[in-house]
Amino acid sequence: MFGRINHTLVMADRERAGREASATAAVLDSQSVKTAESGGPRGYDAGKKVKGREHQALVDTDGRALVSRSRGSLRLPDP
């Protein structure tokens, strides 16, 4: 439900700014955050050597959030 609300608001804001309603380019970023033992699901990011959660965000070129999610880091070590 929140995804649909965000999509509608992003489209309206893009049109208000004189842009096309749908983004044609986006930027994906991720951040690993250390968490406590009781902080819920967590994993290990071998590339950054961090135990915790990973937050990922997809934004358009003007910085409007298109998709955002948090999850336990599940990356495996490089061979």
Q: Is the pTM of this model over 0.85?
A: no
Query: Which one has a higher pLDDT value, 78 or 28?
Result: 28
Residues 2-61 pLDDT 10s: 888 888 998 998 999 998 888 888 898 877 776 666 555 556 556 666 667 777 888 888
Q: Which residues contact 18 (CB under 8 A, 6 or more apart)?
A: none
* Inter-residue long-range contacts of 12-21, CB under 8 Å, 24+ positions, other chains counted: 13/64, 14/60, 14/62, 14/64, 17/62, 19/62
Q: Domain locations in the chain?
A: 2-72
